[in-house]
Amino acid sequence: NPALTVFDFEKFSKAAHAHGVPLIIDNTFATPVNCRPFQWGADIVTHSTTKYMDGHGSCVGGAIVDSGNFDWMAHAEKFPGLTTPDDSYHGIVYAEKFGKEGAFITKATAQLMRDFGSIPSPYNSYILNIGLESLHCRMKQHCANGMAVAKFLSESDMVEQVSYPSLPGDPYYSRAQKYMNGGETCGVVSFRIKGSRTDAEAFMKHLKIFAIETHVADARSCCLHPASSTHRQLTDQELLDAGISSNLIRMSCGLENTEDLVQDIAQALDAVKASR
């Protein structure tokens, strides 16, 4: 994000396990609807539930899901927090008491949540549960809108490059086909407008449906120009070194009508073109 790289799960799970460490995957964008990392060797999966799982930007939250497959005791010297007594919790050794199936997640809930206080309120949990009920339906529309936008942008003479792993020709297309459900990824599309930072900023100003926000993965379509917002402290060269050009724009396609979103982008690009 915003590079939209599809991780090679099998390759890195083998590398991680060869070195005696678990593979932890952030599956926020794809969600369990489109990607199931445990099937490809991941040990722990995290989610920012604020994004697609909630789906409406209603509450802040996160989730940790432990597969229970990683053998902590086999690499005890690397994980003393799990394999040695916890003096703050009656001297319990999590990996011995709960085994590989429950050691990590029990420590996370019993000790770390106690110490850090990262516990959602009952109402936030209620809101999240409502969002989860429609996740499988919403992801279909997010992906359909993402594909339509990516295809339109890839055919525009105002666009230099498009990043969307589900689009044929994308560098990560083959990985998306392998690791994602039906090759579908998410509703987020990144592209480089032909021109400069100024052209990217002008494009943003002409949008009517897409809201200019740092938020992403929401029912409402959002748009972000990293160079003038989240990464504004970097120079153009530092942006390039980070893999983010000054003319890069990230579009998060919501649940609106597909044609409306495409037309909104089209009129904004036309406005930039007319101003040159």
DSSP state letters, 121-142: -HHHHHHHHHHHHTHHHHHHHH
Please give the Cα distance from 179 to 183 (Å, whole number): 7
Average pLDDT (151-179) is 97
User: Residue 45: what residue type?
Assistant: V
Average pLDDT (188-216) is 95
Confidence check: pLDDT of 11 > 90: yes
Per CATH, is 135-274 categorized as 3.30.1240.10? no
Residue 134: the pLDDT is 97
Return the residue matching tokens 């396609």.
Answer: 253
Please give the Cα distance from 95 to 82 (Å, whole number): 6
This prediction has a pTM of: 0.92
Confidence check: pLDDT of 137 > 90: yes
Residues with Cβ within 8 Å of residue 135, at least 6 apart in sequence: 31, 33, 52, 53, 55
Q: Where are the domains of the chain?
A: 9-131, 135-274
Q: pLDDT tens across 50-81, in order? A: 999 999 989 999 999 999 999 999 999 999 99
Grade residue 230 by pLDDT with cuts at 50, 70 and 90: confident
Going by their DSSP bridges, the two strands 159-163 and 188-193 should be labelled as antiparallel
Phi, psi of 79 (to 5 degrees): -130, 65
Lowest mean pLDDT among 9-23, 181-195, 220-234: 220-234
Confidence check: pLDDT of 240 > 90: no
Average pLDDT (21-36) is 97
The CATH classification of domain 9-131, taken from the options 3.30.70.360, 3.40.640.10, 3.30.565.10, 2.60.15.10: 3.40.640.10
More confident site: 171 or 236? 171
Residue 239: the pLDDT is 85
Rg (CA), the chain: 21
